[in-house]
Amino acid sequence: MWFEHIVFWVLSVVAIAGALGVVLVRDLFRGALLLATAFVAVGGLFVMMNAEFLAVVQILIYVGAIAVLFIFAVMLTRDVQQGNAPNRLQIPAAVISALLLAAMIATAVSTDWTTLSGAGLEAKAQLAQTQAVGIPNASDLTSAGLTPAEVESVSSGGLADLLIGNFVLPFEAVSLLLLGAAIGGLALARGRGR
Amino acid sequence: MRCVTNADGMLSADGVLGGNPLFYFIYNAVGHVAPCWLSYLIAGLVIMLILINAVLLGAAIVSWGERRLLGRFQNRVGPNRWGPFGAFQPIADLAKLITKEDIIPYGADRLAFTAVPVIMVAAVLLGTAVLPFAKDVALVDLNVGVLFVLAVSSLTSIAIFTAGWASNNRYALFGAGRAVAVLLSYEVPVVLSLLGVVLVAGSMSLGDIVAAQAVPFFLVQPLAFFVFIAGMSAELNRTPFDVAEAESEIIAGYHTEYSGIKFALIQAAEFGGVLVVSGLIATLFLAGWAGPLADWLGWLWFLIKTFIGIFLFVWIRSTYPRLRLDQIMAVCWKFLMPLSIINLAAVVLEVFFLRDANGSLSTADLWIMAAINIALAGGSILFFGRFIREKVRTDAHTAIATNPVARGASTIGMG
């Protein structure tokens, strides 16, 4: 389906160009805007993978909150006009990000994706015969022969079950982390001696 | 290659554009002579064209209606020169704005400055994509509809900030700083109030939420309704929360430097925002297209309810004076936050005890919830209202000296 291919390539190029721009552009403010652009493009990629919930949350949190906080930080930074000054940590930063990239690629390659995408691919192939364009929704998936449990596993309900079931420990750990961050931010904002 | 048809000779486009009858009609009409992707594209574009024009025309009507209503509220006439009751005033305004010089200030970030009106209008238009105008008539009935609306409305905050920064103007920057502070804070109670709605409806799809309202949710969850309207007044930068464009303090806030067609677009986005948010209020709390008589009259009930929402916003705007920024923050964190948490806790408990084996609620259950929650709403608004009155009366200087939120606010022009 070349229509989907076009959308995929546009989104991918925008995401990668935006991410590159964040690192390469001197103007901190434009960097933050490019970051938001990259976030939106990644959200679009999530939509293409039928993960609407993830896509919407991506926009809500990363564009609506995190990018705005970055811009806030840029605004409160002194001497922004000088731009992104080069510093001495370039080589360690390059090494660390290369390691991170390697780790991510290794994880992506070694993960067993077949459980979900096998059924999904089958359903998509069947959909391609009955319906030439578009993104399948829950009723399409059901009519394409997926069991209700499999349909549920790609919806927000399934995600919620996983979060409060199998992954409850990391979930709670993250909320503790956020609480710590909030208290830390408050402590910083109040300043010393008060 | 033509489109594949199913057994009854209709083209299958199920779900993609949520069963929109007009989409089906165009898709089928074109699909018999053109390739499938083309008919899909054409049908989608036609629907979007209609929707975009409806929203922008609606924004024009809202701008006229708001000025007329404000005039009545303030015991004056309002625009009445051109057309019946001055109804063509927005056309005159638009013609004036288009013919004005389009100025980009010296030292501005031209690209970002130009992008702002586009992003703002786009965010408003995207919000209409999931609104159900009548039974089964929405551009898309996403299963995460509520979150989608919140997500696209959060794009506005980044656009406002960009406007303030790219304008290279202190007043614009102050306005943008204030606007984003307000937007980020009020996002929290708004989302918490919507959680209650999603919980009772058992779905995040706007279509399902309308279908679940055997009793309209403004009765079932009056607290959520209250918090949502207050929060949305703040997110739309409307009086009493309009410090972001307080003309007596910072000229026009983030859009100080905008002129000509760009200003017109920002205005269209603001009035369109009122329209979309009113549609959202109608959908989430006033039972959307549901109403007496036939189902095909749904658009009428939806329109009437939307206008009720718009009227509420104009009423609030004309009644209350502007708050200071630290008062706005206090109202958010010390008044609306507790109210939304109380509402959520009450709804969770009620749903837990009242639901049947399938996890669904009957109409009788909803009436029970309404009775409990109306009493709860009255009590908690009175209690926290008394509490917040003391807080808000605190002198601005002591507030800035002791309160980190207000002190942070002072660095963005509140001092």
Q: Are the CB atoms for B25 and B50 separated by under 8 Å?
A: no
Question: What is the number of domains present in chain B?
Answer: 1
Amino acid at B28: N
- Provide the number of CB pairs (under 8 Å) joining chain A to chain B: 111
Task: Please check whether residue B241 lies inside any domain of the structure.
Answer: yes
Please check the confidence at residue B47 and state whether its pLDDT lies above 60: yes
- For A122-174, the DSSP string reads HHHHHHHHH-SSS---HHHHHHTT--HHHHHHTSHHHHHHHHHTTTHHHHHHH
Integer Cα distance of A24 and A33 in angstroms: 13
Contact list, B162 vs chain A (CB under 8 Å) = 33, 71
Please check the confidence at residue A33 and state whether its pLDDT lies above 80: yes
More confident residue, B15 or A173: A173
Contact list, A4 vs chain B (CB under 8 Å) = none
Among chain A, residues having any CB pair with chain B shorter than 8 Å are 3, 27, 29-30, 33, 36, 52-53, 56-57, 59-60, 63-65, 67-68, 71-72, 75-76, 129-140, 155-156, 186, 189-190
Among chain B, residues having any CB pair with chain A shorter than 8 Å are 1, 3-4, 6, 12-16, 36-37, 40, 109, 111-112, 142-144, 147-148, 150-152, 154-155, 157-158, 161-162, 165-166, 173, 177, 180, 184, 187, 204, 404, 407-408, 411
Integer Cα distance of B266 and A16 in angstroms: 30
Residue B125 distance to chain A (closest CA, Å): 16
Where in the sequence is the domain holding B151, given as residue range(s)?
Answer: 105-414
More confident residue, B133 or B262: B262
For testing contact with chain A, the best of B119, B147, B170, B403 (most A CBs within 10 A): B147
Task: Please check whether residue B5 lies inside any domain of the structure.
Answer: no
Integer Cα distance of B342 and B365 in angstroms: 19
The lowest-confidence range among A80-94, A130-144, B25-39, B141-155 is: A130-144
Which of B12, B143, B404 minimises the CB distance to A190? Answer: B404
Q: What is the pLDDT of residues A62-90, one digit of tens each?
A: 888 888 888 877 777 666 555 556 667 78
CATH number for the domain including A40? 1.20.120.1200
More confident residue, A120 or A5: A5
Task: Please check whether residue B7 lies inside any domain of the structure.
Answer: no
Please check the confidence at residue A99 and state whether its pLDDT lies above 90: yes
More confident residue, B136 or B17: B136
More confident residue, B310 or B173: B310
pLDDT of residue A123: 55
Residues B404, A57: C-beta atoms closer than 8 Å: no
Instruction: Find the residue in A nearest to B119 (Cα).
Output: A37
Which of B4, B6, B155 minimises the CB distance to A64? Answer: B155
Please check the confidence at residue B239 and state whether its pLDDT lies above 80: no
Where in the sequence is the domain holding A58, given as residue range(s)?
Answer: 1-79
Task: Please check whether residue A124 lies inside any domain of the structure.
Answer: no
Residues A53, B144: C-beta atoms closer than 8 Å: yes
Q: Are the CB atoms for B396 and B407 separated by under 8 Å?
A: no
- For residue B1, what pLDDT band results from cuts at 50, 70 and 90? very low
Contact list, A76 vs chain B (CB under 8 Å) = 411
Tell me the average pLDDT across A181-191: 81
Task: Please check whether residue A158 lies inside any domain of the structure.
Answer: no
Task: Please check whether residue A169 lies inside any domain of the structure.
Answer: no
Task: Please check whether residue A189 lies inside any domain of the structure.
Answer: no
pLDDT of residue B414: 44
Instruction: Find the residue in A nearest to B147 (Cα).
Output: A56
The mean of the pLDDT values for chain A is 75
Contact list, A186 vs chain B (CB under 8 Å) = 404
Residue B400 distance to chain A (closest CA, Å): 12
Please check the confidence at residue A133 and state whether its pLDDT lies above 50: no
pLDDT of residue A147: 53
Q: What is the pLDDT of residues B77-125, one digit of tens each?
A: 878 888 788 788 888 888 888 888 888 888 778 888 888 899 899 988 8
pLDDT of residue B404: 53
Instruction: Find the residue in B nearest to A30 (Cα).
Output: B112
pLDDT of residue A179: 92
- For residue B394, what pLDDT band results from cuts at 50, 70 and 90? low
CA distance readout (Å), B62 to A55, A91, B57, B79, B87: 32, 57, 9, 13, 10
Q: What is the pLDDT of residues A144-158, one digit of tens each?
A: 555 555 555 455 666
Task: Please check whether residue A191 lies inside any domain of the structure.
Answer: no
Residue A102 distance to chain B (closest CA, Å): 32
Task: Please check whether residue B85 lies inside any domain of the structure.
Answer: no
pLDDT of residue A91: 86
DSSP character at residue B23: H
pLDDT of residue A58: 87
Question: What is the number of domains present in chain A?
Answer: 1
Integer Cα distance of B22 and B46 in angstroms: 9
Task: Please check whether residue A155 lies inside any domain of the structure.
Answer: no
Structure tokens at A76: 């409160």
pLDDT of residue B51: 84
ipTM over 0.85: no
Integer Cα distance of A189 and B316 in angstroms: 34
The mean of the pLDDT values for chain B is 80
Which of A63, A129, A155 minimises the CB distance to B154? Answer: A63
Please check the confidence at residue B275 and state whether its pLDDT lies above 70: yes
Cα A179 to the center of its chain, rounded Å = 22
pLDDT of residue B237: 79
Residues A68, B180: C-beta atoms closer than 8 Å: yes
Please check the confidence at residue A135 and state whether its pLDDT lies above 50: no
Please check the confidence at residue B328 and state whether its pLDDT lies above 50: yes
Residues A71, B165: C-beta atoms closer than 8 Å: yes
Per this entry, what is the length of chain B?
415
Contact list, B144 vs chain A (CB under 8 Å) = 52-53, 56, 156
Task: Please check whether residue A167 lies inside any domain of the structure.
Answer: no
pLDDT of residue A84: 55
pLDDT of residue A106: 92
Residues A33, B408: C-beta atoms closer than 8 Å: no
pLDDT of residue A95: 92
Contact list, A63 vs chain B (CB under 8 Å) = 151, 154-155, 158
Residues B40, A133: C-beta atoms closer than 8 Å: yes
Peptide bond into B404 cis (omega under 30): no
Please check the confidence at residue B343 and state whether its pLDDT lies above 80: yes
Q: What is the pLDDT of residues A102-118, one digit of tens each?
A: 999 999 888 766 544 44
Which of A60, A68, A139 minimises the CB distance to B14? Answer: A139
